[in-house]
Amino acid sequence: MTSKHRVVIATFPDVDLLDVTGPAEVFALANREGGPSASYEVLLAGPDTGAVRTSAGVRVLTDLTFDQVGTAIDTLIVPGAVDMSPSGPTARIDDDVVRWLRAAAPHAGRIASVCVGAHLLAAAGLLDGKTATTHWSTAGQLATEHPRVRVDPDPIFLRSGRVWTGAGISACLDLAMALVADDHGEELALAVARQLVVYLRRQGGQSQFSVPLSRPAPVRRDIDELRAYIAENLDADLSAAALASRMCLSERHFSRVFRQEMGLTVAAYVEAARVEVARRLLETSDLPLRQVAHGAGLGSVETLHRAFLRRLGTGPGAYRRRFRTTA
């Protein structure tokens, strides 16, 4: 590491603005909160010097051309850009960035992609044999175009050796704070989170979506209203029979309608919603598991364990040890 920790952020035409400015702001706040011990130096690099128009229309100025960066790179950050098509967003591959990455990556202490920047890392061959994430909307594209990359579209960010990949948009803040924590510990990262007025610093293994956001919006208004009822009454009787009675439908017809609208059974949806609340309690409190189970509507510690193992592949105790965050 140099006397200052040199962070180089790649820029190119139509790059997503927050992908560039989000990490830069995190490192600037780390310098302010951490004092001389942090000493991040953030530089923007691009194919040419001068103004670069971002996806938001706002222009940023590069400090260096790619050729001027040299080999002194402690952290190399690669943001992304998308093109819109009738089938949805498509990650843009900038050939200048890909060529530079192939040359610069071997000299970087660590490499991190933000959002669809993972596609640029993959195009440069830097994700082969690794597990990576990206924005959920282009995860399919990444998996199809780069079969040697193990794509996991769910986490907020992932680390595979010295290569980090982050999910979409605001997750760039979580990724950058994780890099700060990796350098200087959790205390400084949480100080930055407080300055950003972030509710909590989300850990990498957490999902990009809450349960309601992870499901398609129902067409039927009564099912949408039922989702709100479930979220607000997780400790109530939420069996298919009880919810069918509330909807004034037969249990068989209700179960068929719910699955058609939501894409999963009533029991699976309710359990996912309860596990999500349990996760929040484990992340943000020291409540005993018995109280966590009760607060999430799971009833008992045994039910809590079974639900966590089924949905997350780990127990609630292990989950808390990994993701517990103090404010």
In angstroms, the first-to-last Cα distance of the chain is: 30
- Which DSSP string corresponds to 271-309? HHHHHHHHHHHHHH----HHHHHHHTT--SHHHHHHHHH
Burial profile 91-130: b = 16 or more Cβ within 10 angstroms, e = fewer: bbbbeebbebbeebbeebebbbbbbbbbbbbbbbebbeeb
Q: Which residues pair with 73 in a beta bridge?
A: 108
The predicted structure's pLDDT at residue 119: 98
For strands 59-62 and 50-53, give the pairing: antiparallel
Q: Report residue 220 as tokens.
A: 């039927």
Q: Which residues pair with 35 in a beta bridge?
A: none
- Higher pLDDT, residue 120 or 194: 120
When pLDDT is averaged across residues 217-226 and rounded to a whole number, the result is: 78
**Distance of alpha carbon 206 from alpha carbon 152, whole angstroms:** 12
Residue 211 in this model has a pLDDT that exceeds 80: no
Q: Report residue 167 as tokens.
A: 């999910």
Amino acid at 201: R
Going by the DSSP 8-state scheme, the letter that residue 40 receives in this structure is E
- pLDDT tens readout for residues 242-260: 999 999 999 999 999 999 8
The predicted structure's pLDDT at residue 40: 96
> What is the percent of the chain where pLDDT is above 70?
91
- By mean pLDDT, which of 34-38, 123-127, 299-303 is the weakest? 34-38
**Distance of alpha carbon 281 from alpha carbon 278, whole angstroms:** 5
Residue 325 in this model has a pLDDT that exceeds 70: no
Residues recorded for the chain: 327
The position carrying tokens 């050729």 is: 67
The predicted structure's pLDDT at residue 209: 44
**Distance of alpha carbon 94 from alpha carbon 13, whole angstroms:** 9
When pLDDT is averaged across residues 30-43 and rounded to a whole number, the result is: 91
Going by the DSSP 8-state scheme, the letter that residue 218 receives in this structure is P
Q: Report residue 223 as tokens.
A: 């099912």
Residue 279 in this model has a pLDDT that exceeds 70: yes
- pLDDT tens readout for residues 144-194: 999 999 998 878 888 999 999 998 778 899 899 999 989 998 889 888 988
CATH topology of domain 5-195: Rossmann fold (3.40.50)
CATH architecture of the domain covering 211-323: Orthogonal Bundle (1.10)
Cα three-residue angle 269-271-276, rounded to 5 degrees: 95
Residue 327 in this model has a pLDDT that exceeds 70: no
Q: Locate the domains of the chain by residue range.
A: 5-195, 211-323
Nearest to 31 by CA among 69, 5, 62: 5
When pLDDT is averaged across residues 64-82 and rounded to a whole number, the result is: 96
The predicted structure's pLDDT at residue 107: 95
**Distance of alpha carbon 183 from alpha carbon 255, whole angstroms:** 50
